[in-house]
Amino acid sequence: MLKKERALYVDRELDRLYPNPPIPLDHRDSYTLLVAVLLSAQCTDARVNQTTPALWKLADTPEAMAEVAVDVIREIIRPCGLSPRKSQAIRDLSRILIDQYDGAVPEDFEALESLPGVGHKTASVVMSQAFGHPAFPVDTHIHRLGQRWGLTNGRSVEQTERDLKALFPKDRWNALHLQIIYYGREHCTARGCDGRVCPMCRALYPNRKSPVKTRK
């Protein structure tokens, strides 16, 4: 298959497997989604979902979170890892939202990326999942599968994002982001497939003999 043919096959097959992919992080609104995505850095969504109920019980708005001591936030989110940095970021961004955005999460990439603890991927998730703007956040699953499926050389996360955006229609970016994640978790895992095992890899490269070494 040519690259465009592989992309078309991936698009159709993932839409068949996951026609209505749910957002994996539990949240109530754009603010709680922003905090949950921040917590998911180097942590599983499952762990975040186990942790956030206690955090939302304590504070689920910027106004309430800004009044909570960083040490208290840190103790609650400790299971998610990197708790000193994440707790300070949550407290600081909550204060910025109050001071600069009337307590609302800004619907703007540049504004989001200026918040403490919020990088391009986090901003992309919030823009796509909270506000519906086309974005293609690249996590470890997407970066790995894009390479196994011959859709990118994986030279960098930024390159993978550019390559996938060029291959798929913009109106499919938001759903595909989630569909690839779900497929990566269920079928094409880091250790369970090497580019020759899962159904998608076998369909795209039926004659592949050697394992695919993916860039991190």
Would you state the torsion angle of the CA atoms of residues 16, 22, 24, 26, taken in this order, to the nearest 10 degrees? -170
169: tokens are 């229609």
Instruction: Compute the distance between CA of residue 96 and CA of residue 113 in angstroms, rounded to an integer.
Output: 12
Nearest one of 31, 47, 53, 45 to 115, comparing CA atoms = 31
Q: What CATH number does residue 167 fall under?
A: 1.10.1670.10
Cβ pair 174, 132 in contact under 8 A: yes
Regarding whether 35 and 124 lie in a shared domain, the answer is yes
Q: What CATH number does residue 121 fall under?
A: 1.10.340.30
The residue assigned the tokens 């159904």 is 199
Report the pLDDT value the prediction gives residue 216, as an integer from 0 to 100.
81
Q: Which domain holds residue 160?
A: 3-21+136-204
The answer to whether residue 214 sits within a structural domain is no
Q: Which of 76, 94, 129 is the last residue of a domain?
A: 129
The answer to whether residue 212 sits within a structural domain is no
Regarding whether 116 and 93 lie in a shared domain, the answer is yes
Report the pLDDT value the prediction gives residue 205, as an integer from 0 to 100.
97
- What is the pLDDT tens value at each position of the chain, 216 positions in all? 899 999 999 999 999 999 999 999 999 999 999 999 999 999 999 999 999 999 999 999 999 999 999 999 999 999 999 999 999 999 999 999 999 999 999 999 999 999 999 999 999 999 999 999 999 999 999 999 999 999 999 999 999 999 999 999 999 999 999 999 999 999 999 999 999 999 999 999 999 999 999 988
Cβ pair 119, 38 in contact under 8 A: no
Regarding whether 173 and 93 lie in a shared domain, the answer is no
The answer to whether residue 210 sits within a structural domain is no
Query: Which ranges of the chain does DSSP label H, i.e. alpha helix?
Result: 3-17, 30-39, 45-58, 62-65, 70-77, 83-101, 109-113, 120-129, 140-148, 157-167, 173-186, 199-204
Q: Which of 45, 60, 86, 121 is catalytic?
A: 121
For the chain, how many structural domains are there in total? Answer: 2
Regarding whether 124 and 147 lie in a shared domain, the answer is no
Instruction: Compute the distance between CA of residue 165 and CA of residue 144 in angstroms, rounded to an integer.
Output: 16
Instruction: Compute the distance between CA of residue 43 and CA of residue 25 in angstroms, rounded to an integer.
Output: 12
- 171: annotated active-site residue: no
Nearest one of 96, 91, 94, 97 to 76, comparing CA atoms = 91
Report the pLDDT value the prediction gives residue 47, as an integer from 0 to 100.
98
Q: Which of 108, 129, 150 is the last residue of a domain?
A: 129
Helix (H, G, I), strand (E, B) or coil at 47: helix
46, 116, 123 from 90: Cα distances, Å: 19, 8, 14
The answer to whether residue 215 sits within a structural domain is no
Instruction: Compute the distance between CA of residue 25 and CA of residue 23 in angstroms, rounded to an integer.
Output: 6
The answer to whether residue 213 sits within a structural domain is no
Q: Which of 108, 139, 165, 194 is catalytic?
A: 139
The answer to whether residue 63 sits within a structural domain is yes
Report the pLDDT value the prediction gives residue 215, as an integer from 0 to 100.
87
Report the pLDDT value the prediction gives residue 65, as an integer from 0 to 100.
98
